């Protein structure tokens, strides 16, 4: 096997501060059980590192400096390896969303490996504990050279379920997605090795500079916004702010959890509107829920005064009685006489309106019409 090409400038001074919220502790858990050690074989027949053209010159400069000076060691992917985990900047991290899954990793690239682990947990299979590991100072099994775990740039997920060399321990349908996700994070999944497979394993395969770009991009990505009302189909089991919108529309308690009561109310709502009463809020039901409310009928309330007669006067008298029972005991007869005039003026006085006994737009509005 050929010598590794250093892609890590090796300058530990370049180590960036890890994202504080990911670090759990500076101590490293006990090493994994012996039956996992197979993983630390890594890839034995493919040289991983592929420095990008603009980094070749820098890499060569670094290599010559190192050749002259040092005993610096590199793992197979060209990153600095060491038995001194503190010198490498190894910290222990929790997988996002899984505070129980702790993995020791080189801090500056940890976000990439952790993002892969979190994605695996959500999209491939839940991570089991124990079963996950990162940094370990080990040789590649069956070959000379240091495992990428020795630089803290590799991670094993659900190790007992994916023994070294076993093929097909993850569903075939998910393999392409796993490879794509790994590539997007500057990683390679051991299941795509050309030689012996290692389906528990993923490792950094890009230069330090590229890895830092990917970390920055990852950390700049805002968390996905919750779906807005109407963006997704909702049914029993759904939860979120958009469920509350449905619940308000169908008249149940808006707790954001789509349970049996919400299903029942949605069915009633659908039935009342000629929609298929399946209890599932799809595009048609959303359209009904989100339709703008009918425009209020134009208010062409006539201006009333003493001597006016008709339905509008009846409405006025009824409203005054309902709203101000303590002082309005009018007969709602549709005849604007002296008694009605008196009540209107009293209302206007109390409402801070011009006290003229004339029921125009302002007085109507103050009465809630």
The DSSP secondary structure of 348-361, one letter per residue, reads HHHHTS--SS-B-H
CA distance 361 to 6: 82
Phi, psi of 250 (to 5 degrees): -95, 0
Question: Is 323 in contact with 368 (CB distance < 8 Å)?
Answer: yes
CB 188 → Zn ion: shortest distance, Å?
11
Q: Of the listed pieces 5-13, 38-46, 94-102, 281-289, which binds Zn ion according to CB under 5 A?
A: 38-46
Q: How far is CA 302 from CA 68, 224, 263, 309, in A?
A: 99, 53, 46, 11
Q: Of the listed pieces 14-22, 198-206, 257-265, 336-344, which binds Zn ion according to CB under 5 A?
A: 198-206
CB 133 → Zn ion: shortest distance, Å?
7
Q: Of the listed pieces 34-42, 55-63, 114-122, 302-310, which binds Zn ion according to CB under 5 A?
A: 34-42
Q: Of the listed pieces 31-39, 122-130, 226-234, 319-327, which binds Zn ion according to CB under 5 A?
A: 31-39
Q: Of the listed pieces 200-208, 240-248, 254-262, 282-290, which binds Zn ion according to CB under 5 A?
A: 200-208
- Contact pick of 8, 108, 121, 156 for Zn ion (by CB under 5 A): 156
CB 149 → Zn ion: shortest distance, Å?
6
Instruction: Pick out residues in 67-106 that bind Zn ion (CB under 5 A).
Output: none
Name the residue nearer to Zn ion (CB basis): 103 or 234.
103
Name the residue nearer to Zn ion (CB basis): 147 or 317.
147
CA distance 107 to 91: 6
Sign of torsion, CA 221 202 32 1? negative
Q: What is the DSSP letter of 251?
A: T
Name the residue nearer to Zn ion (CB basis): 48 or 246.
48
CB 117 → Zn ion: shortest distance, Å?
12
CB 285 → Zn ion: shortest distance, Å?
49
Instruction: Pick out residues in 320-349 that bind Zn ion (CB under 5 A).
Output: none
Name the residue nearer to Zn ion (CB basis): 193 or 347.
193
Phi, psi of 122 (to 5 degrees): -85, -30
Tell me: does residue 265 bind Zn ion (CB under 5 A): no
Query: 61: exposed, middle or buried (C-beta count within 10 Å: 0-12, 13-18, 19+)?
Result: exposed
Which has the closest alpha carbon to 313: 287, 271, 344? 344
CB 154 → Zn ion: shortest distance, Å?
5
CB 81 → Zn ion: shortest distance, Å?
14
Cα dihedral 63, 65, 71, 72 in deg (nearest 10) = -50
Sign of torsion, CA 200 205 209 215? negative
Compute how many residues bind Zn ion; rule: CB under 5 A: 3
Tell me: does residue 39 bind Zn ion (CB under 5 A): yes
CB 198 → Zn ion: shortest distance, Å?
6
- Contact pick of 98, 162, 201, 208 for Zn ion (by CB under 5 A): 201
Residue 307 CB partners (closer than 8 Å, separation 6+): 336
CB 122 → Zn ion: shortest distance, Å?
21
Q: Of the listed pieces 8-16, 194-202, 264-272, 273-281, which binds Zn ion according to CB under 5 A?
A: 194-202
Q: How far is CA 203 from CA 25, 42, 134, in A?
A: 22, 9, 10
Name the residue nearer to Zn ion (CB basis): 141 or 339.
141
Helices and strands, counts by H and E, the chain = 11, 8
Q: How many CA atoms does the CB half-sphere of 295 hold within 13 Å?
A: 3
* Site residues for Zn ion per CB under 5 A: 39, 156, 201
């Amino acid at each position: 096997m050929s010598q590794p090409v250093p892609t890590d400038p090796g300058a530990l001074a370049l180590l960036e501060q890890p994202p504080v919220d990911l670090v759990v502790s500076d101590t490293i858990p006990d090493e994994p059980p012996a039956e996992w050690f197979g993983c630390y074989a890594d890839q034995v027949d493919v040289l991983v590192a592929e420095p990008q053209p603009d980094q070749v010159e820098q890499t060569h400069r670094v290599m010559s400096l190192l050749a002259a000076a040092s005993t610096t060691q590199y793992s197979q992917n060209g990153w600095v390896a060491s038995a001194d985990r503190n010198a490498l900047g190894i910290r222990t991290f929790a997988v996002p969303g899984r505070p129980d899954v702790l993995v020791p990793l080189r801090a500056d690239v940890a976000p990439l490996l952790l993002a892969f682990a979190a994605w695996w947990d959500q999209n491939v299979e839940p991570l089991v504990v124990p079963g996950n590991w990162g940094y370990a100072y080990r040789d590649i099994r069956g070959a000379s050279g240091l495992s990428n775990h020795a630089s803290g740039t590799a991670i094993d997920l659900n190790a007992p379920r994916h023994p070294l060399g076993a093929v097909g321990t993850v569903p075939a349908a998910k393999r392409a997605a796993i490879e794509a996700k790994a590539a997007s994070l500057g990683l390679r999944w051991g299941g795509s090795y050309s030689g012996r497979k290692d389906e528990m394993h993923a490792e950094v395969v890009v230069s330090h500079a590229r890895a830092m770009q990917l970390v920055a991009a990852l950390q700049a990505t805002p968390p996905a916004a919750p779906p807005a009302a109407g963006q997704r189909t909702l049914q029993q089991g759904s939860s979120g702010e958009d469920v509350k919108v449905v619940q308000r529309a169908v008249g149940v308690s808006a707790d954001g959890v789509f349970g049996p009561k919400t299903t029942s109310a949605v069915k009633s709502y659908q039935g009342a509107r000629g929609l298929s009463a399946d209890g599932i809020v799809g595009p048609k039901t959303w359209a009904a829920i989100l339709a703008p409310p009918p425009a209020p009928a134009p208010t062409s309330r006539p201006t009333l005064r003493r001597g006016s007669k008709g339905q509008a006067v009846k409405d006025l008298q009824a409203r005054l009685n309902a709203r101000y029972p303590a002082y309005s005991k009018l007969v709602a007869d549709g005849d604007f006489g002296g008694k009605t005039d008196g009540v209107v003026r009293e209302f206007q006085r109390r409402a801070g309106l011009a006290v003229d006994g004339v029921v125009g737009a302002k007085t109507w509005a103050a009465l809630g019409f």
